[in-house]
């Protein structure tokens, strides 16, 4: 068990004060996901198992076609696993996972990409 702060996976986590209480720190999903993507591209993190790749998670979540979207990663720098997830209701997840957690997760079929994977339409004109 490695409890040392890891620059790659602990450092990927970005939190910001919530809008309703500055003492409540919420996960900044976009910033955290961007850091994780950089780690994946650099080979510092690898996928264990996922519903969809990290870059597609927000898009699938926005479609509300799947209740929970999970990705399990391994940090190659510290050797720990990470779980990250989005669900329709509730806060995004970014936490240390135990080896084997990915196998224990109740994976469900991902809706066909044609139903959710598209470029969001550009906002038309002013309000
Ligand atoms: Zn790490």
Q: Can you give the pLDDT of all 127 residues of the chain as single tens digits?
A: 456 899 999 999 999 999 999 999 999 999 999 999 999 999 999 999 999 999 999 999 999 999 999 999 999 999 999 999 999 888 999 999 999 999 999 999 999 999 999 766 666 655 4
Which DSSP string do the residues of 20-67 spell out, in sequence order? S-TTSEEE-HHHHHHHHHHHHHTTSEEEEEESS-HHHHHHHHHHTSSS
Whether 67 and 88 have beta carbons less than 8 Å apart is answered as: yes
Q: What is the pLDDT of residue 17?
A: 95
User: Position of tokens 């602990």?
Assistant: 10
How many whole angstroms from 6 Cα to the centroid of ligand 1? 5
CA distance 32 to 10: 10
CA distance 124 to 98: 46
Q: pTM of the entire structure?
A: 0.87
How many whole angstroms from 119 Cα to the centroid of ligand 1? 32
How many whole angstroms from 126 Cα to the centroid of ligand 1? 44
**Residues whose beta carbons lie less than 5 angstroms from ion ligand 1:** 6, 8-9, 75, 77-78
How many whole angstroms from 19 Cα to the centroid of ligand 1? 29
């Amino acid at each position: 068990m490695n409890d040392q702060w890891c620059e790659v996976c602990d450092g990927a986590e970005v939190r910001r004060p919530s809008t309703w209480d500055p003492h409540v720190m919420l996960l900044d999903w976009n910033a955290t996901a961007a850091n994780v993507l950089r780690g994946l591209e650099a080979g510092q993190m690898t996928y264990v198992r996922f519903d969809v790749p990290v870059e597609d998670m927000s898009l699938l979540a926005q479609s509300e076609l799947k209740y929970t979207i999970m990705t399990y990663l391994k940090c190659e720098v510290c050797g720990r696993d990470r779980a990250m997830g989005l669900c329709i209701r509730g806060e995004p997840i970014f936490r240390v996972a135990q080896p084997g957690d990915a196998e224990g997760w109740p994976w469900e079929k991902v809706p066909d990409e044609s139903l959710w994977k598209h470029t969001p339409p550009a906002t038309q004109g002013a309000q």
